[in-house]
């Protein structure tokens, strides 16, 4: 009799314990689910936008940044005028480009490497790291770098020249971004991608024409970027290697520096060696080339730069 009573008590305790554990577990899951529901919009918003304030003229303003904002990307091959373009845009009070990040082209190159490898693509898909996941992560990463490596501004610009090797990808993940592709007698991969994106989003800028007619081209650029033109000079970087080129006023000295440096046999076969020259509107046989007549202000700048150069040489000789 006592044994049966003990057995019933144990059974009752077991049932009560099971019901209690089940109830507590269900309650905990409901609480966790509600917390997730409340926190998810905030997390999504933090990825979608980043708000910063700074100490410049826009210090009292708050800007929200997201993947749909009109970002500006400047790209091209080395010595194609990307630094000059960056300096001229940085002088506009509503635009901030800043120095090269050096990070963005590298992370884009890694993304391209994953996309090219079918084996790696299969592995990523099996791991649940789909194209949608990667695109979302790339948007957040690139936007964070562009936003936080300089002062806030209504329009943000990135000048990592080789980033435009991934121009079509950037155009996809940043649907309202615009691209300024600089060229100066040599470029192809970026040109083809620019054509693919279309002229309404990617503008081709001849470095030589930007030098010859800076004011006219700045008006054209601001119209393309759907911005109001404002007076400004040139914003210089303290560490960029190419900054020494834009410390001087815009002049034509650099346009013909290469003349006389190319062997005659190479010049003779230039259409075969560099077929993109004719495609981009250059005469492959022109040596020296005729880029057109510069603005009077540029002529005066060039004369002044040559005078200062001669004066400095004379001073050093003395």
Provide the annotated active-site residues.
100
Q: How many CB atoms lie within 10 A of CB 124?
A: 17
Whose tokens are 């994106």? That residue is: 197
Of the candidates 80, 50, 60, which has an alpha carbon nearest to the alpha carbon of residue 206?
A: 80
Q: How many CB atoms lie within 10 A of CB 112?
A: 13
Query: How does 252-288 read in b/e, with b if 16+ C-beta sit within 10 Å?
Result: bebbeeeeeeeeeeeeeebeeebeebeebebebeeee
Dump the DSSP string for 86-133. Answer: HHHHHTSTTEE--S--SSHHHHHHHHHHHHH-HHHHHHHHHTT--HHH
The answer to whether 228 touches 313, Cβ cutoff 8 Å, is: no
In sequence order, the 6+-apart residues with CB closer than 8 A to the CB of 211 are: 81, 84, 250, 251, 252, 254, 255, 294, 298
Gap between the terminal Cα atoms of the chain: 123
Residues forming beta bridges with residue 63, ordered by sequence position: 52
In sequence order, the 6+-apart residues with CB closer than 8 A to the CB of 84 are: 207, 210, 211, 245, 246, 250
User: Longest C-alpha distance within the chain, in Å?
Assistant: 123
Residues forming beta bridges with residue 301, ordered by sequence position: none
How remote is the C-alpha of 10 from its chain's centroid?
70
In sequence order, the 6+-apart residues with CB closer than 8 A to the CB of 86 are: 74, 97, 157, 159
């Amino acid at each position: 009799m006592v044994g049966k009573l003990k057995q019933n008590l144990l059974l009752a305790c077991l049932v009560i314990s099971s019901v209690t554990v089940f109830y507590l577990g269900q309650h905990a899951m409901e609480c966790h689910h509600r917390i997730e529901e409340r926190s998810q919009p905030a997390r999504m918003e933090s990825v979608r936008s980043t708000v910063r304030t700074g100490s410049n003229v826009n210090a009292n303003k708050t800007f929200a940044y997201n993947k749909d904002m009109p970002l500006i990307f400047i790209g091209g091959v080395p010595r194609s005028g990307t630094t000059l373009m960056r300096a001229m845009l940085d002088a506009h009070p509503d635009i901030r480009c800043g120095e090269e990040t050096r990070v963005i082209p590298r992370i884009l190159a890694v993304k391209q490497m994953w996309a090219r490898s079918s084996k790696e693509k299969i592995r990523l898909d099996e791991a649940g790291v789909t194209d949608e996941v990667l695109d979302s992560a790339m948007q957040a990463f690139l936007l964070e770098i562009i936003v936080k490596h300089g002062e806030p501004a209504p329009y943000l610009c990135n000048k990592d020249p080789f980033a435009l090797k991934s121009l079509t990808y950037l155009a996809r993940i940043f649907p309202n971004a615009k691209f300024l592709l600089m060229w100066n007698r040599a470029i192809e991969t970026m040109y083809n991608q620019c054509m693919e994106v279309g002229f309404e989003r990617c503008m081709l800028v001849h470095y030589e024409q930007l030098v010859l007619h800076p004011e006219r081209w700045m008006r054209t650029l601001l119209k393309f970027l759907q911005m109001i033109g404002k007076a400004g000079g040139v914003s210089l970087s303290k560490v960029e290697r190419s900054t020494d080129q834009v410390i001087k006023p815009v002049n034509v000295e650099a346009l013909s520096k290469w003349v006389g440096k190319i062997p005659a046999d190479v010049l003779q076969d230039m259409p075969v060696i560099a077929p993109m020259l004719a495609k981009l509107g250059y005469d492959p046989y022109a040596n020296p080339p005729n880029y057109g007549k510069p603005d009077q202000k540029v002529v005066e700048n060039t004369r002044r730069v040559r005078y200062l150069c001669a004066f400095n040489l004379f001073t050093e000789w003395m």
